[in-house]
């Protein structure tokens, strides 16, 4: 028996509500009974919260209302009492100015909803990019037994005989329309070819990256990440997760016993091997911060940048999540990576990662999708953390999505002060730019936008695309979509809006990038930089009220995970006082 079962809970926290015999017990039970729950549901059995990010405005999660029913079946079967509740759902495609602005808000919603209610253990139903980190951050702050059911990717996009990937082909097709290689009519036709089933983006974008993240952290049952949303085995997984969370409550297998420093190290390495999104960095740093686990931006480079790339998925590679599932999914990757992983870490099924690998079917059924560790796609993948006078606290690049020839580059800066400035001038035929230049975009960081949108992979000027050039060095304090690609330096910290060096770059300055040496240098004299700094005024935030005010005043830089400073550290599940 594993050591996490040593500490048995004296009693379940839900008995502080439903086990009471006084007036408060009446209040706690009576109103719940209006839903038709019989008295034995209140007899001290584990109460399981099903935290649902379902929303029709989050199309990637639109099927999760249905999935909650499968979780409930599992909970009932195991003798628990399931209670589903909605929380703020963050849809990547519709929310303005960016879903990222609201990740911390949703995490607070998840945290307080779990803590305030008579919940002994929680199932997180997630899918679209921010819905996974926000719910995990919230659950980590409460520290109850927690299991994640990732909603699963869409089926492969299919366009006129060709596989097309969520996001990745949006960038490609929109460039094709701009250069006249695709008609506007075909562009509209492609929309329904891309998104043809329930589920999240089926590239190795941020949603798939987050699914792999929770599986590699040990927060899902083995094999959960890759199962397509519409495959019956995803509902089976939801059912089994419902059964398992009841046992986890009995074993007091809290999330803090799973999210250890070793688990985070595993996840960083696995993210490198699957070619995961750069957004992974910000979300993992934020989750670690909530747990009180020491994790730094440099750890991503130290632990991840020498890991071989095994998974051949867009945007770095060729295939899509459905192919990844049929090839064997993440268990195959974990099996290949054994020498790089801490195998003694605990996972939600009560077994260690090593035990799970030993018991799983880790055969690979398509070696063009998942490569063996001794013959990887690339010897070194992962994320490089780049520092220099232009990014004192670090910036990041995903080398597997970049152009090798541009990884060492010196070029003249072409500066866009804001995203509006970029849109207004990028296709201007008179813009003084060629393919050797470095495109610089300011004021798209956490404070500057606000919310750090996915605009760092700004499209190239039309006149450069027309020459057949597809990549240039681009630098910003923003993020890029996990489905995007290019030689793109992201997450520059400190950001321009708070007076990072990026704020002082001007047209014509020379910038030197050297990924191998991890450096990013603005080549201007020190006195000139000091002069520009003295004459600089910080941009004004768009509003001084509401959540945006709270966010702008408290958000930490990307290099620290962009969480709100007062949310760092877990506060536990205790609530001393009753409501009446």
Interaction site with ligand FES (CB under 6 A): 60, 92-93, 128-129, 166, 200-201, 205, 207
Choose the contact partner of 338 out of Mg ion, ligand FES, none; CB within 5 to 8 A by kind. none
Looking at the Cβ atoms of 53 and 141, the one nearer to ligand FES is: 53
Q: What is the DSSP string of 23-92?
A: HHHHHHHHHHHTTT--GGGGSSPPEEEEEE---TTSGGGTTHHHHHHHHHHHHHHTT-EEEEEE-----T
The least distance separating Mg ion from the CB of residue 456, rounded to whole angstroms, comes to 12
The label of the residue with tokens 């509209």 reads 188
> Residue 79 pairs with which residues in a beta bridge?
none
- Considering only 84, 92, 111, 323, the residue that binds Mg ion (CB under 5 A) is 92
- Rounded (10°) angle between helices 206-217 and 279-291: 40
Which two structure tokens, joined as six digits, stand for 200? 């999240």
Looking at the Cβ atoms of 60 and 259, the one nearer to Mg ion is: 60
- Residue among 188, 378, 394 nearest 282 (CA): 394
Give the C-alpha separation, 542 to 270, whole Å.
Answer: 39
The least distance separating ligand FES from the CB of residue 211, rounded to whole angstroms, comes to 10
Give the C-alpha separation, 33 to 352, whole Å.
Answer: 40
Choose the contact partner of 200 out of Mg ion, ligand FES, none; CB within 5 to 8 A by kind. ligand FES
Kindly state whether residue 200 participates in binding Mg ion, applying the rule CB under 5 A.
Answer: no
Which two structure tokens, joined as six digits, stand for 577? 């006082």
Give the C-alpha separation, 515 to 474, whole Å.
Answer: 13
Choose the contact partner of 247 out of Mg ion, ligand FES, none; CB within 5 to 8 A by kind. none
Per residue, what are the HEC states of 351-399?
Answer: CEHHHHHHHCCCCCCCCCCECCCCCCCECCCCCEEEEECCEEEEEEECH
Looking at the Cβ atoms of 214 and 255, the one nearer to ligand FES is: 214
Looking at the Cβ atoms of 52 and 347, the one nearer to ligand FES is: 52
The least distance separating ligand FES from the CB of residue 99, rounded to whole angstroms, comes to 9
The least distance separating ligand FES from the CB of residue 224, rounded to whole angstroms, comes to 16
Choose the contact partner of 201 out of ligand FES, Mg ion, none; CB within 5 to 8 A by kind. ligand FES
Which two structure tokens, joined as six digits, stand for 252? 């007091």
- Considering only 15, 132, 141, 206, the residue that binds Mg ion (CB under 5 A) is 206
Looking at the Cβ atoms of 207 and 524, the one nearer to ligand FES is: 207
Looking at the Cβ atoms of 278 and 349, the one nearer to ligand FES is: 278
475 CA to centre of own chain? 21
Looking at the Cβ atoms of 212 and 221, the one nearer to Mg ion is: 212
Kindly state whether residue 509 participates in binding Mg ion, applying the rule CB under 5 A.
Answer: no
Choose the contact partner of 322 out of ligand FES, Mg ion, none; CB within 5 to 8 A by kind. none
Half-sphere exposure of 381 (CA within 13 A, CB side): 25
Kindly state whether residue 323 participates in binding Mg ion, applying the rule CB under 5 A.
Answer: no
Radius of gyration of the chain (CA): 24
Looking at the Cβ atoms of 205 and 445, the one nearer to ligand FES is: 205
Kindly state whether residue 481 participates in binding Mg ion, applying the rule CB under 5 A.
Answer: yes
Kindly state whether residue 98 participates in binding Mg ion, applying the rule CB under 5 A.
Answer: no
Residues lying near Mg ion in the complex (CB under 5 A) are found at: 92, 129, 206, 481
């Amino acid at each position: 028996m594993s050591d996490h079962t040593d500490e048995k809970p004296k009693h379940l926290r839900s008995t502080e509500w439903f086990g009471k015999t006084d007036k408060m017990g009446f209040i706690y039970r009576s109103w719940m009974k209006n839903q038709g729950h019989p008295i034995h549901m209140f007899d001290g059995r584990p109460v399981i919260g099903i935290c649902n990010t379902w929303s029709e405005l989050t199309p990637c999660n639109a099927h999760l209302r249905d999935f909650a029913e499968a979780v409930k079946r599992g909970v009932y079967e195991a003798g628990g009492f399931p209670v589903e509740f909605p929380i703020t759902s963050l849809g990547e495609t519709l929310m303005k100015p960016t879903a990222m602005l609201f990740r911390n808000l949703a995490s607070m919603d998840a945290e307080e909803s779990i803590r305030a209610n008579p919940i002994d253990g929680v199932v997180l139903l997630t899918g679209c990019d921010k819905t996974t980190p926000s719910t995990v951050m919230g659950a980590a702050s409460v520290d109850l037994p927690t299991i994640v059911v990732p909603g699963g990717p869409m089926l492969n996009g299919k366009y006129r005989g060709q596989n097309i990937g969520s996001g990745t082909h949006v960038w490609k097709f929109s460039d094709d329309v701009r250069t006249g290689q695709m008609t506007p009519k075909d562009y509209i036709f492609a929309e329904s070819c891309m998104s043809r089933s329930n589920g999240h983006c089926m590239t190795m974008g941020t949603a798939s990256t987050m699914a792999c993240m929770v599986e590699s952290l040990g927060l899902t049952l083995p094999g959960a990440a890759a199962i397509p949303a519409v495959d019956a085995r995803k509902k089976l997984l939801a059912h089994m997760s419902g059964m398992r969370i009841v046992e986890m409550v009995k074993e007091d297998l809290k999330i803090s016993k799973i999210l250890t420093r070793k688990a985070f190290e595993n996840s960083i390495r696995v993210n490198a091997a699957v070619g995961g999104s750069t957004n992974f960095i910000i979300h993992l740093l934020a989750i670690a911060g909530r747990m009180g686990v020491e994790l730094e931006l440099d750890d991503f480079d130290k632990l991840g940048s020498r890991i071989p790339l095994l998974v051949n998925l867009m945007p770095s590679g060729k295939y899509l999540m459905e192919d990844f599932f049929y090839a064997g999914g993440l268990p195959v990757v974990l099996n290949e990576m054994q020498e790089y992983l801490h195998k003694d870490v605990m996972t939600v099924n009560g077994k260690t990662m090593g035990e799970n690998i030993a018991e799983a079917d880790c055969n690979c059924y398509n070696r063009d999708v998942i490569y063996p560790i001794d013959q990887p796609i690339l010897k070194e993948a992962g994320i490089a953390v780049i520092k220099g006078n232009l990014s004192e606290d670090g910036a990041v690049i995903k080398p597997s999505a970049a152009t090798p020839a541009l990884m060492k580059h010196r070029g003249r800066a072409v500066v866009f002060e804001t995203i509006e400035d970029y849109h207004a001038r990028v296709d201007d035929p008179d813009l003084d730019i060629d393919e050797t230049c470095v495109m610089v975009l300011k004021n798209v960081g956490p404070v500057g936008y606000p919310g750090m949108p996915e605009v760092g992979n700004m499209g190239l000027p039309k006149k450069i695309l027309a020459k057949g050039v597809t990549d240039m060095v681009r630098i910003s304090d923003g993020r890029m979509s996990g489905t995007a690609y290019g030689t793109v330096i992201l997450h520059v910290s400190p950001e321009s809006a708070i007076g990072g060096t990026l704020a002082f770059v001007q047209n014509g300055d020379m910038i030197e990038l050297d990924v191998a040496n991890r450096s990013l240098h603005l080549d201007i004299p020190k006195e000139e930089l000091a002069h520009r700094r003295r004459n600089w005024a910080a941009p004004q935030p768009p509003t001084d009220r509401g959540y945006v005010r709270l966010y702008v005043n408290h958000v930490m830089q990307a290099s620290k995970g962009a969480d709100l400073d007062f949310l760092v550290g877990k506060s536990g599940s205790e609530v001393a006082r009753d409501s009446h």
